[in-house]
Structure 1
Amino acid sequence: MTTQDAAVRLFHDLIGHAPDGIWSAPGRVNLIGEHTDYNDGLVLPFAIPHRTYAAVGMRSDDRIRVASTFADAPVEVSLDELRSLFPTGAGAQPAVAEWAAYPLGVAWALQLADATAHGIEHGVDIAIASDVPVGAGLSSSAAIEGATASALNELWAVGLDRTALAGIGRRAENEAVGAPTGIMDQMASMLGEADAALFLDCRSLEAQTVGLGMAEAGLAILVIDTRVSHAHSTGGYRERRASCELGAQIMGVPALRDVSVDDLPRAQELMDDVTFRRVRHIVTENQRVLDTVQTLRESGARAIGDLLVASHVSMRDDFEISVAELDTAVQAALDVGALGARMTGGGFGGAAIALVEQHAAPTVTDAVTAAFTASGFTAPHIFPVTPSAGAARDA
């Protein structure tokens, strides 16, 4: 059974008839540009083939009910109750299970966005199924948000474009779920294109497509899911964000986007060591994104390996968000010929990526698996990803 079929079956089991439509949105891999998004910076993600499907049907009353293949029971509230479920303000704890806070948070954010229009009067039933690995740093949350937002935007006739829907997803994640993430994940999920990365300015939301040409170059990207689960709403992520905000305040700028590599010597004089290293990662990572885009356009994907490695070193040493499993994955891949490798996502677990020759993918997979076994780690889940299309209506 496909994931889409699983969503449709769940809907039918719940409601007794077919849904009005099926919408989906993908997870994402961030090629480079980590933790820069909430600093108004630059990122270069791409959407992956793994998707979340939402089978959705309109109701005649004002109830909204969400069910998922990974939850035992549906969650149901009235449209009016959404406002009390999610008191405005990042960091608020939702009054429902976290999985349900994502789709319900999207509905809540769309309510607020639509407040000056005709208003949303009728409820919906939503059945969700997903094959995006959870906790792997592949943005399973943005995939839920993107699928739900796409469906409700159409069924409720809100009329928002893809960029605005990405903003709806971000608001849901920030204020309904309480995870202080940037907008990169939602933008990649909404705007992804096949065989391309999304060069995104997180301040202006200007997005450019950058062709990757992986298959043509005989290359592949492997995701190495360490199976070390992480959660953005926990402390380490918040602490890094607070350090970045402090660094920007010390430098007298709105965000670290406004600090250049040339400013780093002055920053080092003004800051304690930890704050400076956090700042240095963001500033140099923004520059690495620019360098990667230029290299892709001028020389192709085969030439970006050193930039990926430099990004991982910066996250490991300056931002301190890697873990032993991620470092092992990166080093083992490089030791057997990967062109580049780095952790991807928020850190503290999750996944690494390796840029490899297509023919070398089995060798890299075996080497990383062996390295995990030798270190006594849980076996990783390793699989290739291809840059794929963003959110869509499927039926």
Structure 2
Amino acid sequence: MTAVPDLLDFDGLLSPDEIAMRTRVRAFVDERVRPHIADWYDRAVFPATLVPELAELGVLGMHLTGYGCPGRSAVEYGLAAMELEAGDSGLRTFVSVQGSLAMSAIHKHGSEDQKNRWLPAMARGEVIGCFGLTEPGSGSDPSSMTTFARRVGDEWVLNGSKRWIGLASIAQVAVIWAQTDEGVRGFLVETDTPGFAATPIAPKMSMRASIQCDIELRDVRVPESARLPEARGLRAPFSCLNEARYGIGWGVIGAARDSYETALRYAGERMQFNQPIAGFQLTQQKLVDMALEIEKAQLVALRLGRLKDTGELSPHQISVAKLANTRAAIAIAREARTVLGGNGVSAEYSPMRHAANLESVRTYEGTDEIHTLILGAHITGIQAFRSTTPVEVRA
């Protein structure tokens, strides 16, 4: 039985370079992640020792150009995200927070000095970054953030709280978004600055092999040179979130595919009533449904990647992939678990772990509801958000 579904010859749509990138990342995951991920997840350990290896693999800020960044295509980045998440959502999340959020914020909105200082070291994995937008009382509506930066002479004084901030406790630099007297601005805060504190959130039922933190900012002073000069208003952080959402549209396919592959292998080996359960009609229906959804999700993601590489990708199109592909991935992981029967609750098998992780992925970078309303506004031309924030900012 074929493990990876390719009912429509998806590989025929990829270039040799794209296939080579996918092959390299898949081999890395097979060798360095799969043998250990169940243990890391069980013990709630993020494998920080893999960071230099991920840098060597060329996946940190891989879609960014210049400043020591790999400068790979959007499709290559998507394929890499898919393979990383086949190992675990936490691994793809690390690459996303580092590259699509923290590095992207500096690349898009930073000064030349900021780019030259931070980006090469972050691409090499020598510096880890985090992205502080979400707050305890401000998730889907970041316009209601209460973190405030007050200008005092040549410095800014930051006070506030952030929540669910990936990597914050191991980061050396934090991109912090704050209200000011002139609107939302972004700041690069070195995490050893007095008044900055990051505390990992525990215990968690999802994303256990990953790090999410609470951040407290108490009279944190940074110089004017730490402000991202091109970041003005909520459009700035949302431009970074769109980079992360794009990667999610690809990444979740990896979790779905790994769940499907696990179920397919198991179905071929598990004997009941003197035959493998893969020979039962209901099992075949489950496997076919999973394979079809994976094929569709791959085509959606590839379409977005091609549009992104030509500069034609629109925000609402990213919402299509984030919403549809994540929904499909969760359904596939859950269905794959049913093929495994009672054994599916064992950490020996991946689908239940993927399903738990995908509940977090479904929520971050825009919930189902937010992406539904983004698409609803695009389809109808009517803004359904209760906030007065324009939909184009939300997208």
- Structure 2-normalised TM-score? 0.27
- TM-score, structure 1 normalization: 0.27
Q: By percentage of residues, which structure has more helix?
A: 2
